[in-house]
Amino acid sequence: STESSLCSARAAVLLYDDTHRQWVPAGGGPQTLSCVQLFQHPGGAFRLVGRRIQPDQQVVLNCPLVRGLRYNQ
């Protein structure tokens, strides 16, 4: 069995830098749009994966969704 993609969206992915107390673009460099997908594993666990749309499709987000995860829109 393989994981399946439940949905996807275009988004600017930012990660919080605790040291500088600010949001910074994921993957370093300038802020660009990414394709963020929600996957469900066969056992029922969920994961978010984000890849830059341009130019290199670098993975900028690979995060399991666990109880207590903090999310900011």
Q: What is the mean pLDDT of each run of 10 residues along the chain (73 residues)?
A: 84 92 88 92 90 89 87 69
Number of structural domains found in the chain: 1
Of the candidates 26, 22, 16, the one whose C-alpha atom is nearest the C-alpha of residue 50 is 26
- Kindly report the CATH number assigned to the domain that includes residue 33: 2.30.29.30
Q: Which domain holds residue 19?
A: 4-65
pLDDT of residue 42: 84
72 assigned to some structural domain: no
Cis peptide bond upstream of 30, omega within 30:
no
Let me know if residue 71 belongs to a domain: no
**pLDDT the model gives residue 20:** 94
Q: 0.75 exceeded by the pTM?
A: yes
